[in-house]
Amino acid sequence: MSRLLQLLGELAFTLWAVGTLVFLMLHLVPGDPVAVMLGEGANAVDQAALRAQLGLDQPLWMQYVHWWGNLLQGDLGRSLFWHQPVAALIGERLVYTVQLAVLALGFALLLALPLGVWAALHAGRWPDSLAMGVSLLGVSIPNFWLGPVLILFFSLWLGWLPVSGVQAPLAWVLPTLTLGTALAAILTRMVRASLLEVLHEDYLRTARAKGLPQRVVIWRHALGNALLPVVTVLGLQLGTLLGGAVITEVVFDWPGLGQLLVESIQRRDYPVVQGVMLVVTAAYVLVNALTEWLYTRLDPRVRP
């Protein structure tokens, strides 16, 4: 119970700090949403009328208090550009971001687990060097470069996969590869390092002495304990993915939170940007809390 209260307190403080920081940055950085909506040629009377309609003519502290007052009632406000509730907009886009994050995570695990185990079992030899080289390459390639290269090769040259969109099943392939490659590289190195630490433990020698096959010793006994540090990294990376892979979504015109965030920043749509950042922050904190809970279930030694 005390841990739950502590988690709720941390979540509330984090949301307040992030919300306040985003609010101040949006309102203090030069730029006027009214000018974006009406265009630079609009007369001063129309601009003043729209600014009053949107409540942007109020003092900054009053806008801040009004926003938090609505937020405490569960109201994220209305979009200045789309004229829709912010919660509805986020709900529509969040589905695509979560689906993409889950696919990228699945791809990363399918690639990282066998590759990391292979590297650990051949430590110091050419398979290890090859696996670590591939891993280093995956970590080093940024999404904004990998995405266009995949589009150029698989979409424009070969014509196998669509460039963007979410309707066709094959449209999910390139964003998943782009988003999951770096995560797979990180997890591969973690699996290798963790597995090397447990390969010479006494309980594995006992398992081998009982005549268990090597695959059973590795995949059932060794890997189960080696995955404990990997779970922590996995939770942190999943929080990052759920936070909206902004670059990947922009490159592939993916209708997720990242795309919504970029569009809203360009249009100076304050309520949407603030709402997206709060949802991203909450998702990150909750995923980390879930990771901590899962870690205690996997390793009883760290239970309070």
DSSP assignment of 284-297 equals HHHHHHHHHHHHHH
In terms of Cα–Cα distance, which of 276, 94, 255, 284 is closest to 175? 255
pLDDT (average), residues 133-145: 86
CA 202 from chain centre, in angstroms, equals 38
How many helices (H) and strands (E) the chain has is answered by 14, 0
Question: What is the value of pTM for the model shown?
Answer: 0.83
Asked whether residue 286 carries a pLDDT value surpassing 60, the answer given is yes
Does residue 229 contact residue 288 with C-beta atoms inside 8 Å? no
Average pLDDT over the chain reads: 82
So what's the pLDDT on residue 281?
A: 84
Q: Which of 24-28, 146-150, 231-235, 254-258 has the lowest mean pLDDT?
A: 231-235
How far apart are the C-alpha atoms of 273 and 282, rounded to whole Å? 14
pLDDT, position 302: 52
In order of their start, the domains of the chain are 31-75 (no CATH), 87-302 (1.10.3720.10)
How much is the average pLDDT of 151-171? 84
